[in-house]
Amino acid sequence: MATDTRDGTALVARDGALDLTGASSLPKELSAPSALTVSLRVLVLARQSPQLRVLPEALRALTALELLDVRGNLLETLPAWVLRERTGLAVLAEGNPLHLELPAAGESSQLFEDASFPADARALFRDGATEWAGHVPADSVRWLRPHELCPDGDARLIVRGTESADVVQGCLGSCWFLSAVAVVAMRGGLAERTFALAAVEGAPAGQLTVQLWKEGRWRRVTIDDRLPCDADGSLLYARSAEPTELWVSLLEKAYAKAHGSYEALISGFADYALRDLTGGAPQRLRFGGGGDEAALWQQLRGWAAEGAPIGCAFSLSALPAAAADAADGARATGRELLSKSGLLRGHAYAVEAAREVAGRRLVRLRNPWGYGEWRGAWSDGSKEWTAELLQELGHTDAEDGSFWMEVSDFAREFNTLYTARRFPDGWGRRAVRGEWAGAGAAGCPRAAGWRRNPCVRLVLREAAEVYIVVSQRDARICAAGLQPPPPAAAADGAKARGPSIGFVVLSAADVDAVRRAGGAPRPEQLAVRGTPLRAEREVASDREVRLGAGAYALVPFTFAAGEAGAFEVEVFCSAPA
């Protein structure tokens, strides 16, 4: 990697069908850069610990890894895309790093304490002191370890694998994060992958290290195992439905530390959390008013077939303020709105399944609260259910937060789908970083000097489908003081926003045409664009776009000129790399 010191744009070259190169302005000629070979690296923790051994047959040809529990039972088969993207994987045959080792009598004083995320108000609250409305006083919070929460000695990180029903929300407004946790957990291996580094040999007792995808790479977050509880010793925030299982609470703590405090997790977008947990490419689909149910169903089924985690919400931010206030006679419930149907507006749900049964298209959802369900057709105890359908769909009439509804009702009651895409084997990912600075922070195409924005050169050696993501600094992390904020970023937690960002992609021929004509490109000249222009962490193309062989210019921009900041461009491509 090299850096163009004139405008700070990172220059990256990769061999294969797709090349990316940074440039300081729209290029007249787009030539292929020199190639650098990038090799595959997979870190297998088992090689570092005498308690574990590698399964050679799982590594043969690097097409899949199998995760086994201590008894040799299959926990998960990890496909090739995991091998390409993920590090820190433990392949277990002997030993069990997912077991929380409880201290012997008299050893509690030797347990690890994380001074960077201390067990006091500094970890709880955004300003390190002031509790939010309705929260218990900080001086009444007890910080308990696993052996104190489970004095019988039966505390475990994971009990019988992970599933969406494990996840129960506490008094923290982190449903966006927990709905993502629930939907990823049901696909198996989330906690096994996230906590793989918990078994690092020589780590002190009471320490856990997890992996989160932040700022374009896997990052390690180390915590101690002290958890905030009320005066009675009950967990304040997220917990598992199984009282002796602690992975949900500990993962939420690591995520809170990554963003500066527990309070920083109040309110957010499920696709942000899905990306942070999986490293997948974020995609958000807006719909509403019934819309095209067939297209919505096709999208749901397509993502489900990919194995992509899916979340949904009725997003109030997608509505005019007056409509949000009056939506369906809803009444206020904190920051969310409870509708007559039993569903919450402004609340994130996990999509667990999409099934076509007896001529009906049905969607199964889960409320991370563990209660509060849909009251319409196909709800618990409704007339649509028969004994045969209950058995076929594995449904039980219980107030557990899980429910089914028909896709026509789903299309009416929700308006947003979220996912983190994992593209099929054979797709490649290329990334380049840069910044908007000085004259290079030139604003959107309507601005007079927009062509001075940094430009990324794409070269396709053959026709291919591409999916593009442009991201900026995580304003939630910036607001916590963990990164310097961009000048335009708001400074207040959940409302933290960077500038509105977008991008356009033009072919080489259209680059010349735009240069000759001046001004903004016409809509028909845009091969791809990131829409809508949003003040969010990431903006992506709304779907995969097929581009012909040739050279293209990708121009990331902020809405207003003068909004400086760093960005990353990711291009996912179906052509072989």
For residues 532-559, one letter each, b for 16 or more C-beta atoms within 10 angstroms of the residue's C-beta and e for the rest, the string is ebbbbbbbbbeebeebeebbbbbbbbbb
How far is 357 from 407, CA to CA, in rounded Å? Answer: 12
How far is 322 from 221, CA to CA, in rounded Å? Answer: 41
In 3D space, the residue among 344, 365, 369 whose CA is nearest the CA of residue 407 turns out to be 365
> Which residues, listed in sequence order, are joined to residue 285 by a DSSP beta bridge?
417
For residues 480-505, one letter each, b for 16 or more C-beta atoms within 10 angstroms of the residue's C-beta and e for the rest, the string is beebebbebbeeebbebbbbbbbbbb
Give me the sign of the Cα torsion angle 408, 409, 415, 417.
Answer: negative
Which residue among the candidates 150, 175, 229, 478 is catalytic per the annotation?
Answer: 175
Catalytic: 367? yes
Give the CA count within 13 Å in the CB-facing half-sphere of 283: 21
Which residue among the candidates 229, 347, 444, 453 is catalytic per the annotation?
Answer: 347
Catalytic: 175? yes
> Which residues, listed in sequence order, are joined to residue 276 by a DSSP beta bridge?
none
Distance of alpha carbon 180 from the chain centroid: 7
Angle at CA of residue 468, ends 462 and 473, nearest 5° = 145
How far is 78 from 71, CA to CA, in rounded Å? Answer: 19
Q: What is the DSSP string of 549-562?
A: SEEEEEEEEESSTT
Catalytic: 171? no
The answer to whether 300 touches 354, Cβ cutoff 8 Å, is: yes
Side chain identity at 115, as an amino acid letter?
A: A
In the chain, the N- to C-terminal Cα span, in Å, equals: 18
How far is 330 from 333, CA to CA, in rounded Å? Answer: 9
**What is the pairing mode between strands 416-421 and 360-366?**
unpaired
**Residue 568, both tokens:** 């990353």
Local structure of 84: helix, strand or coil: helix
**Residue 379, both tokens:** 């709800």
**What is the pairing mode between strands 464-472 and 207-214?**
unpaired
**Residue 249, both tokens:** 């609470």
Q: What is the DSSP string of 277-320?
A: HH-PEEEEEE--SS--HHHHHHHHHHHHHHT--EEEE--GGGS-
How far is 310 from 349, CA to CA, in rounded Å? Answer: 9
How far is 568 from 358, CA to CA, in rounded Å? Answer: 46
Which residue among the candidates 150, 367, 453, 478 is catalytic per the annotation?
Answer: 367
Known catalytic residues? 175, 347, 367
